[in-house]
Every structure is written in C-alpha cells, then in structure tokens.
Amino acid sequence: MKAPPSIRTRLAWGAFLVLLAFLAIAGWAVQQAYADSIRAQRFARLQTTIYLLMAGAELDGAGALVMPPSLAEPRLSLPGSGLYASISKLDQSQTWRSSSTVGVSLPFQTSQATGQWKFDTVTAPQAQSADHVTSGHAFLAATYAVKWAVNDQQAQLVFSVLEDKAGFDRELFTFERTLWSWLGATGVLLLLTQTLLLRWGLTPLGQMASEIQRIETGTQARVEGNYPRELAGLGHNLNLLIDQQRNRQTRYKEALDDLAHSLKTPLAAMRAALAEPAELPAAVAQQVSRMDDIVRHQLGRAGASGANRFAPYLVLAPLLHRIRDTLGKVYLDKNLSFTLACPSELAWRLDEGDAFEMLGNVLDNAAKWAKHEVGVQIWLNEQGLNIRVTDDGPGFAAPQAKLARGVRLDESVSGHGIGLSVVNDLVSSYLGALKISNAASGGAQVDIVLPRA
C-alpha cells in the first residue's frame, strides 16, 4: 500500500493551491475593475466629443444641418484617425460625417430615444473584400438623440461617435501583462516564503521523529527535547508510556525473581519430608498450599496494570457495591454491616481488574477479622484518590511494620493474609502509598492514597 504524502507535502500543496486561487481571483477582480474604469473614461471622452459636435451644429434657413469646416477635436478631421463622428437628421434623411470617416464603412447608430444616452461596443460588418480597413473591427460607441431647435427651425438629430477599440485593447493588454507579471512574481516569492516557514514550523516534528528513532534503536532513553506547547504534551505522554512499559518489565522481572526465590523454601521442605514417609502426605499438602499462595501473589504483582494516564475513568461506587454484595454472601454467618461512603459519580483512572483486586483484598481482610462492622470511605483531595477501610476486629499486632519489597505483609504483620501484600504491590505500581494502623475504636485501619497520573 502506497504511503500517504507527508505533512510537509500536504501543507505545501495546500498553500500552493490556496495561493494560486487567491491570486487568480484577485487578479481577475483587479483586471475587471481596471477594464471598467478605462471603458468609463473612454465613454466619458466620447460624450465630451458629442458635446463638441452639439456646440458646432447649426440649422440654416431651410432647416438643413450645417457644421463648421473644422472642429475642436483634430482627430475628427484626420482620415483613419480612429475617432469618427456622425450626425443624422432624421426628418430630412440628412447625414453629416466627419472627415475621419473617408474611405471606411462604420456602424453608426441612427436610432435612439430622444434625450437618452447610449454607450455600447459595436462591431463593423464583414466586408466582401478582405482589405477593407474596418472589416470586423470593434468600436466603442456613444449615441445621443435630441430635438434641435434654432429660431423657428426644429430637427430631430442623432449624434453618434465611434472610437476604434484597438487603443482600448492595447492599453488593457499592457495593464494585464504588467498585472499578471507582478502577481506571478509575488506568487513565487510567497511560495518560497511559505516553503521556508513550513520548513521552520515543522522542524520540531522532525526533531521529535529523530528522537523516537533513537529511542527505538536504544541510543536514547526518553524524549528529551524542549518542544513547543503543541508538542510538549505529546512528548510528556510518550515518556509516560515509555516509563510504564519499563516499569511493567521491571515488575515482571522482579516477580519472576521473587517467585524463584520463594519456591525454594517449600521445595526444600518437601525434599526433607522424603526422609519421613509417614509425614510426607501432610507435608506435601501444606507446602503445595503455600506454593499456590506464592504463585497467586507473584502473578498478581506481575499482572498489575499500574498507573496509566490513558486508562478510561472507572466509576468506583458500583464496583464497591458489587464487592460488598459478594462478601456479604461469603461471610453470611457473621451478619456483617457494611458502611459505604463513596460519591456515586466519583471516577478515577484505574484498571477495573486492579480495582477489584485492591478493594476486594482490603475488604476481604477487614470482613475476615471484623466482629460486626466494616466501613469504607473513598474521597478526592489535592493528594489524589483516598481509600480508607476500617473494621471493629482486634486490629494489627504490629502496625509499624515496614512494607518493603521482598517482605511479605502476611509475614511482617501477624494474622493477616497474603491479600494485603498483593494490595501493597498494586498500590506501589500506581505510585501510591499504603498505610496500616489501628483505628481509634480499636479495629484495623488501612489507608490507600493514589496520586493523580
């Protein structure tokens, strides 16, 4: 399967396409605005030319149109100048044309509503001969119709002025060429700038990828770089995963070492019992039971999930009620009263199996030694999750016993089983603390504090 393009490639292509679209739209908008502006200026000049024609137009005594021999606009007197004028007197079918129209056929407008201006682009008709100077040419046209009155004479006049559109097209083409040249150069400069910015902005990602590769090859232990805020959390979480994996491997190794060490004593006892066949069955049964306890204990230690920042939140109240119901059936003959103080919505990042093991063992130990009552309190404070289990039994004989690795709680505290040792290992795997003491009422008290992951 083909690998997807890199982030840098995606961003570069995205920036290129966005920039290309922006420059194209901006260039088209500027081009259209400039074309409209130039066209409006050209039409304004044609309108001024019509005003000049109107200033020079006269009617003679017979009502015929009379124009002066020369006009204020010199191009109207120069043949083929590109500026052409026509005045049509509709009631007598009389037409006057400027000297510039000599030898050319032009599409003058001869019909227009009186008092109305008309600005348009017109095209000369195709001529039969290919060398006709205006064949197919486009013109900017301005037309104005007026009812002309001089003394007692009146006439319906239509003023029409044409200008060759080639000059307009050349001016617009020059502007477009300049515009698109500058936009193209600006686009290239912006692309180079964006490329450099992308390279600079993505440098921390490349550095983190290099660190991860060194971690994979074993030349580096952790993510150590100082990264921007967006990547700092990722680096911290990667370090947490690395630490959790190493802690898990350490637990496995320690559990196997302890298991091998712990099995030596019962194996030696069974070997010694071989010399006394009469006591062999009882000795084997006793040592097998002890070995079973040892294996369960070490498997519990090795299988603990431990502190996990990415574990889902577990609501503790339902789990606590399930353990209470189970223990109520197990110790039905004692008719115990369980007092549970745990908010219904309280949740913590805790593996469900570890939670069952931890709470189950502590509550089972309390129920085993309690006379009538077992109390559980769970709450949150600035230290983290707090769990307190109390009972009204005889309490701990040596609450000051140290809970160190390799010293089983059932050995250091008389009368309490291997379950509390499993709890101590579980709490340690969550970087927490377990404290055993005697409550003010005289019974046992077990306090567990699990810090925030």
The structure's pTM equals 0.55
User: How far is it, in rounded angstroms, from Cα 444 to Cα 448?
Assistant: 13
248, 270, 303: which is the final residue of a domain? Answer: 303
User: How far is it, in rounded angstroms, from Cα 98 to Cα 46?
Assistant: 14
The least confident of 2-6, 327-331, 389-393 is 2-6
Residue 362 lies in a domain: yes
Residue 308 lies in a domain: no
| Torsion 376-377-378-383 (CA) sign | negative
- Of 236, 371, 250, 362, nearest to 301 (Cα)? 250
pLDDT of residue 37: 94
pLDDT of residue 305: 56
Residue 213 lies in a domain: no
- The fraction of the chain above a pLDDT of 70, given in percent, is 88
pLDDT digits (tens, 9 = 90+) for 210-223: 999 998 888 888 88
pLDDT of residue 412: 40
In a shared domain, residues 282 and 324: no
In a shared domain, residues 277 and 173: no
> 3-state class of 150 per DSSP?
strand
Find the mean pLDDT for residues 334-353: 90
Instruction: Look at residue 33 and tell me whether its pLDDT is greater than 80.
Output: yes
pLDDT of residue 38: 93
In a shared domain, residues 322 and 290: no
Instruction: Look at residue 127 and tell me whether its pLDDT is greater than 60.
Output: no
pLDDT digits (tens, 9 = 90+) for 57-80: 888 777 778 888 888 888 988 888
pLDDT of residue 420: 78
**CATH number for 406:** 3.30.565.10
The least confident of 343-357, 408-422, 427-441 is 408-422
Place of tokens 């920036």: 15
pLDDT of residue 300: 63
DSSP calls for 357-403: HHHHHHHHHHHHH-SSEEEEEEEEETTEEEEEEEESSS--S-TT---
User: How far is it, in rounded angstroms, from Cα 426 to Cα 413?
Assistant: 18
pLDDT of residue 3: 74
In a shared domain, residues 244 and 346: no
pLDDT digits (tens, 9 = 90+) for 415-431: 444 567 778 878 887 88
Instruction: Look at residue 414 and tell me whether its pLDDT is greater than 60.
Output: no
Instruction: Look at residue 308 and tell me whether its pLDDT is greater than 70.
Output: no
CB 423 within 8 A of CB 415: no
CB 122 within 8 A of CB 139: yes
Instruction: Look at residue 151 and tell me whether its pLDDT is greater than 70.
Output: no
pLDDT of residue 72: 84
In a shared domain, residues 184 and 247: no
Between residues 307 and 328, the one the model is more confident about: 328
pLDDT of residue 402: 40
Residue 215 lies in a domain: no
Q: Which residues contact 92 (CB under 8 A, 6 or more apart)?
A: 63, 64, 155
Q: What angle do CA 373, 378, 384 make, to 5 degrees?
A: 150
- Rounded alpha-carbon distances, angstroms, from residue 308 to 11, 221, 239, 386: 34, 19, 12, 17
Residue 56 lies in a domain: yes
Alpha carbons within 13 angstroms on the beta-carbon side of residue 328 total 9
In a shared domain, residues 192 and 269: no
Find the mean pLDDT for residues 231-249: 84
DSSP calls for 31-99: HHHHHHHHHHHHHHHHHHHHHHHHHH-EE-TTS-EE--SS-SSGGGGSTTSSEEEEEEEGGGTEEEE-G
185, 201, 217: which is the final residue of a domain? Answer: 201
CB 401 within 8 A of CB 413: yes
Find the mean pLDDT for residues 344-350: 91
In a shared domain, residues 169 and 61: yes
Burial class (CB in 10 A: 0-12, 13-18, 19+), 131: exposed
Residue 54 lies in a domain: yes
pLDDT of residue 431: 84
pLDDT of residue 416: 44
Residue 214 lies in a domain: no
Instruction: Look at residue 45 and tell me whether its pLDDT is greater than 80.
Output: yes
Domain residues for the domain of 193 are 1-124+135-201
Instruction: Look at residue 9 and tell me whether its pLDDT is greater than 70.
Output: yes
Could you give the number of structural domains in the chain? Answer: 3
Q: Any idea what DSSP says for residue 2?
A: P
CB 165 within 8 A of CB 56: no
Place of tokens 């983190």: 208
In a shared domain, residues 431 and 359: yes
Q: How confident is the model at residue 183 (pLDDT cuts 50, 70, 90)?
A: very high
Mean pLDDT of the chain: 83
279, 303, 327: which is the final residue of a domain? Answer: 303
pLDDT of residue 381: 92
Structure tokens at 21: 């679209």
Instruction: Look at residue 405 and tell me whether its pLDDT is greater than 60.
Output: no
Phi, psi of 80 (to 5 degrees): 70, 20
DSSP calls for 80-131: TSSEEEEEEEGGGTEEEE-GGGTT----------BT-EEEEEEEPPPPSSTT
Q: How many helices (H) and strands (E) does the chain have?
A: 9, 14
CB 298 within 8 A of CB 258: yes
Highest mean pLDDT range out of 106-120, 334-348, 417-431? 334-348
Residue 208 lies in a domain: no
User: How far is it, in rounded angstroms, from Cα 235 to Cα 242?
Assistant: 11
In a shared domain, residues 326 and 292: no
Q: Do the bridges between strand 347-349 and strand 313-315 make them parallel or antiparallel, or are there none, so unpaired?
A: antiparallel
In a shared domain, residues 325 and 347: yes
